[in-house]
Amino acid sequence: MKNEKEEPIIAACTLSDTDEDTSECDIMGDHDLIDNEIYNVYYSKNIYNVSEDIVETPIGEFKYIDTNLLDELYYEIVYFDFKNGNIRLNTSNVVKKGEKIMGRVGPAYDNVAECFIFNIVCQGNGNHMVNCVVNKNDPEKVLYEGDYKIYSLEGYSLNPEQVYNKINYQKHMKRFKIITCIIIIVVIILVAAIYFIKIRAEGNYRFIRIKENSYMSDNYLFR
């Protein structure tokens, strides 16, 4: 993968055993890839120095996804101000108040040296919105004069569409539960009302029977 700032990221690729149109690649070395970023794959004509004689036309692409596959947690960026160290995110789940999520931000290019990458701490507010602070006071870090991006958020993947879908689904389920509870309460009230009306009607009927029987007995005594 070409990189204008640093040496290219080298990947060793072999043809897939199941699909002849795809290849399986292993990225060589330890690199901080940007979450949800699409990378173009190139090849070099120089077998001795792959950073030279790189053919300009990419031979393929892939998207890097850093996510918690079991929980399917996603986030979207609402506000990003690296200069003042403030970031605001929407998450697909409700983050408990005070709960912390760790992440990393760095320059908006690939294969970045560790000294340019900063840690961020995001704190939950009991809803889908989390506020993050960039730790810019680390003496071992060097500021880069350019654009920054979120590299990773612990356990989450950058996917605004999934965030939107999950929040809407949760709202729909909440409305459904509320409507279901209201229907159940109304049904209970109606059943209770019908039961009491029936009990009252039967009570009145017995009272009338008793009155009629008493009247007939009185008449009988006067004969």
Q: What is the pLDDT of residues 42-66, one digit of tens each?
A: 888 887 877 778 888 888 888 777 7
What is the spatial distance between Cα 89 and Cα 124, in angstroms, rounded to a whole number?
Answer: 10
119 pLDDT higher than 90: yes
β-strand partners of 48: none
Type of residue at 89: L
pLDDT, tens digit, 9 for 90 and up, residues 132-165:
999 888 888 888 888 899 988 988 888 888 887 7
Neighbouring residues of 40: CB distance < 8 A, sequence distance ≥ 6? 1, 2, 58, 60, 61
Q: What is the mean pLDDT of the chain?
A: 79
Which of 26-40, 90-104, 106-120, 169-183 tops mean pLDDT? 90-104
pLDDT, tens digit, 9 for 90 and up, residues 163-212:
877 777 677 777 777 888 888 888 888 888 787 877 776 666 555 555 55
22 pLDDT higher than 60: yes
What is the spatial distance between Cα 67 and Cα 147, in angstroms, rounded to a whole number?
Answer: 23
Question: pLDDT > 70: what percent of the chain?
Answer: 83
Backbone CA torsion sign across 39, 44, 48, 51: negative
- Which residue in this structure is represented by tokens 């007939």? 216
Selected residue with higher pLDDT from 185 and 222: 185
What is the spatial distance between Cα 142 and Cα 150, in angstroms, rounded to a whole number?
Answer: 16
The pLDDT assigned to 223 comes to 44
What is the spatial distance between Cα 65 and Cα 38, in angstroms, rounded to a whole number?
Answer: 9
4 pLDDT higher than 70: no
